[in-house]
Amino acid sequence: MSEQNPFMVFSGTNSRYLAEKICASLNRPLGKLQITKFSDGEFAVYYEESIRGRDVFLVQSTFPNSDNLMELLLMIDAAKRASAHSINAVIPYFGWARQDRKDKPRVSIGAKLVADLLSAAGIDRLITMDLHADQIQGFFNVPVDHLYASGVILPYLQSLKLKDIVIASPDVGGSKRANTYAKYLGCPLVLCNKTRARANEVESMQIIGDVKDKNVIIVDDMVDTAGTIAKAADIMKEAGAKSIRACASHCVMSGPATERVQSSSLEEIVFTDSIPYTQRCAKVKQLSVADMFAETIRRVILNESISSQYLI
């Protein structure tokens, strides 16, 4: 890539595994960044090389804990004070995205707060993937490049060469995403109607549609405690499904999620590597989105179309 458009890629602590793959795809070295941690839990960010006049891309997903977001904010602030030409936040997993509206009285809208924090820190662009709610793009007053994990998940699903496929949405809210997959693959769509007792706890679930003797693929944007996915898989198995797989963009997999997936009727669950997954589960498979983000960075630098690389 031409040095007439100099750019540099840096990473926070817990997204380094992905940033290294992105840099390998771009054939560029990962920038040198030092994060000093103090005994009280505070930390400071220091760029070990000049970034004056450079376009910098800061790779950091904001998954739990909150240190990942704070690291990113400090990286942005340090880059602004070091006279970077532009500051581009590359956030494969945008945390707090489930808090996108007031769904009951006296609650915060965490997604808007995080958007304000990033904007106040000084980003010029956001590159992210599969936001929990599309309208979060409107929380920003800077360009947002919203990528889709379907670019890596759909080719994998097609490689399985399954017959009698049915796409399923684990809840009504995810029906738009699931319907897009169903249209692309040319197969039927079924829905799961669920009610929650409280956050992260499913009270009841019913299947709307036919799954008997079908290879079911459940599509979602993230899996947190895996309660919904595991329950949906078990109900579909009871309804006569031949096999049940799941795919989701973000591998949050907190608390009892791994045990639930392992003991469920799922044959396989496919994620991207937007969030690192360190536990062991034979049913979990991760596909890398590094090449997709690298290509997006390249297109941003060269002022080329981003949308032309989308499958759906």
Burial class (CB in 10 A: 0-12, 13-18, 19+), 212: exposed
The annotation status of 40 as a binding-site residue, yes or no, is yes
42 is in an annotated binding site: yes
* Phi, psi torsion values for 285, nearest 5 degrees: -130, 135
Is 99 annotated to bind a ligand? Reply is yes
Is 245 among the annotated ligand-binding positions?
no
Q: Which residues pair with 245 in a beta bridge?
A: 217, 268
122 is in an annotated binding site: no
Pairing outcome for strands 189-198 and 201-208? antiparallel
H helices present in the chain, as ranges: 16-26, 67-81, 110-121, 150-159, 175-185, 227-238, 257-263, 290-301
Q: Is 194 a catalytic residue?
A: yes
Is 240 marked as binding a ligand? Answer: no
80, 104, 194, 285: which one is catalytic? 194
| Residue 116 marked in a binding site | no
Query: Binding residue per annotation — 226?
Result: yes
User: How far from the centroid of its chain's Cα atoms is residue 268's Cα?
Assistant: 19
C-alpha angle 305-311-57 in degrees, rounded to nearest 5: 45
Ligand-binding annotation for 206, yes or no, is no
Q: The dihedral of CA 271, 94, 11, 7: what is its sign? A: positive
Q: Which residues are annotated as part of the binding site for D-ribose 5-phosphate?
A: 196, 220, 224-228
Q: Which residues are annotated as part of the binding site?
A: 40-42, 98-99, 132, 171, 196, 220, 224-228
Q: Which residues are annotated as part of the binding site for Mg(2+)?
A: 132, 171
Residues recognised as catalytic: 194
Q: Which residues are annotated as part of the binding site for ATP?
A: 40-42, 98-99
